[in-house]
Amino acid sequence: MADLSVFMDTIKGASTAELQEFKRIIEQKLKSSFRVGDKVSFVGRRGEVLTGKVTRINPKLVSVVLPSGFGWRVHPTLLTKI
């Protein structure tokens, strides 16, 4: 946890440009953790937990198809691998 506190201190003193770069790196890491065919879950707009399969990984969003056939484009930070 010492590394986390150092990271948090770094964030607190970071400029806007540095924070945007941190965000880009974190989002890239999250996006690369998913593969086409992965089973994932996320919370829908109405608060319900939805599950489906990753069908495509786009630059900013991950495409997920539910068992009903309905498709969603979801930001990777909102997905949980099952």
Cα–Cα distance for residue pair 72/14, rounded to 1 Å: 34
Question: In the structure, what pLDDT confidence band is assigned to residue 5 with cuts at 50, 70 and 90?
Answer: confident
Which pLDDT score, from 0 to 100, does residue 31 have?
A: 66
Identify the DSSP state of 15: -
Number of folded domains that form the chain = 1
Confidence of residue 74 (pLDDT cuts 50, 70, 90): very high
Q: What is the CATH number of the domain that holds 62?
A: 2.30.30.140
Residue 58's nearest CA partner among 49, 71, 69 is 71
Can you give the residue range of the structural domain that contains 9? 2-81
Q: pLDDT, tens digit, for every residue of 8-52?
A: 888 899 999 999 998 888 877 776 788 999 999 999 999 999 999
- The answer, as to whether pTM is greater than 0.75, is no
Find the helix or strand (DSSP H, E) in which 25 lies: helix 16-32
CA distance between the termini of the chain: 26
Question: Is residue 54 pLDDT above 80, yes or no?
Answer: yes
User: How many whole angstroms separate alpha carbon 37 and alpha carbon 4?
Assistant: 32
